[in-house]
Amino acid sequence: MAHVVTDSCIRCRYTDCVDVCPVDCFHAGPNFLVIDPEECIDCAVCIPECPVDAIRAEDDVPADQSAFIGINAELARVFPAITAREAPLPDAERWAQVKGKLEHLQR
């Protein structure tokens, strides 16, 4: 079972989770991170590091966020791997508590 980055990450892209990942399974797009389900070892160390609570175990993804299971798998093949923390997006604080951000996902 892999972990999944959900809606909360869009337009924030905090990368605190990247620093603790022992297998470098994160990939970064223009305004969103994804987890490669083929690389994730289900260690869960990334979950408490996310300041916007965007990471869930695949079995714990809420029904209204289930599309993100496929989105993570799809975009992990497209987005480049990221192995070190980067600054969040400039307007991350403004977007941190916004819900329903799927329409803002840049691929």
pLDDT > 90? residue 1: no
- Give the strand pairing for 33-35 and 26-28: antiparallel
Dihedral angle computed from the Cα positions of residues 12, 13, 17 and 19, in that order, rounded to the nearest 10 degrees: -130
Mind listing the pLDDT tens digit for each residue in 38-83?
Answer: 999 999 999 999 999 999 999 999 999 999 999 999 999 999 999 9
- Mean pLDDT estimate for the chain: 97
How is 20-81 classified by DSSP, letter by letter?
Answer: H-SS--EEE-SS-EEE-TTT-----TTGGG-TT--EEEGGG--GGGTHHHHHHHHHHTTSPB
- Distance between CA 10 and CA 54 in Å, rounded? 9
